């Protein structure tokens, strides 16, 4: 395993989906910026903070051989990115799939 394993898999699996969503729904996303970007900020932050508790309690840990080593406290940057990117995928999917009458405001 390499130090970029977590980051590689995170970006390899998630960025193409984000790119496909943006190629299809960019107009919808721009019209609904708040609905797309505010939830990931809230939930990405929340889950990162709860992850701090889990790591602090020893519930899980990160293999230093599979992370790049850039951290915010005890959390690797990959873990923080995971929470924000996952929340972005969810918010984009909801905005794209919700009927237009509920979406555009």
pLDDT tens-place string over residues 27-78: 999 999 999 999 999 999 999 999 999 999 999 999 999 999 999 999 999 9
| Residue 105: band (very low, low, confident or very high) from pLDDT cuts 50, 70, 90 | low
* Angstrom distance (rounded) from CA 78 to CA 80: 5
3-state secondary structure of 86: helix
Beta-strand (E) ranges in the chain? 71-72, 75-76
Burial call 27-50: b when 16+ CB within 10 Å, e when fewer: ebbeebeebbeebbeebbeebbee
Q: Taking 80 as the threshold, does the pLDDT of residue 21 lie above it?
A: yes
- What's the pTM? 0.91
């Amino acid at each position: 395993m390499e130090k970029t394993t977590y980051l590689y898999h995170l970006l390899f699996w998630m960025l193409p989906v984000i790119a496909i969503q943006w190629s299809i729904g960019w107009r919808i996303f721009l019209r609904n910026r708040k609905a797309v970007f505010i939830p990931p900020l809230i939930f990405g932050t929340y889950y990162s903070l709860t992850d701090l508790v889990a790591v602090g309690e020893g519930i899980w840990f990160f293999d230093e051989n599979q992370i790049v080593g850039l951290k915010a406290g005890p959390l690797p940057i990959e873990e923080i990115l995971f929470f924000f990117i996952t929340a972005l995928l969810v918010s984009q999917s909801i905005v794209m799939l919700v009927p237009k009458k509920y979406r555009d405001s």
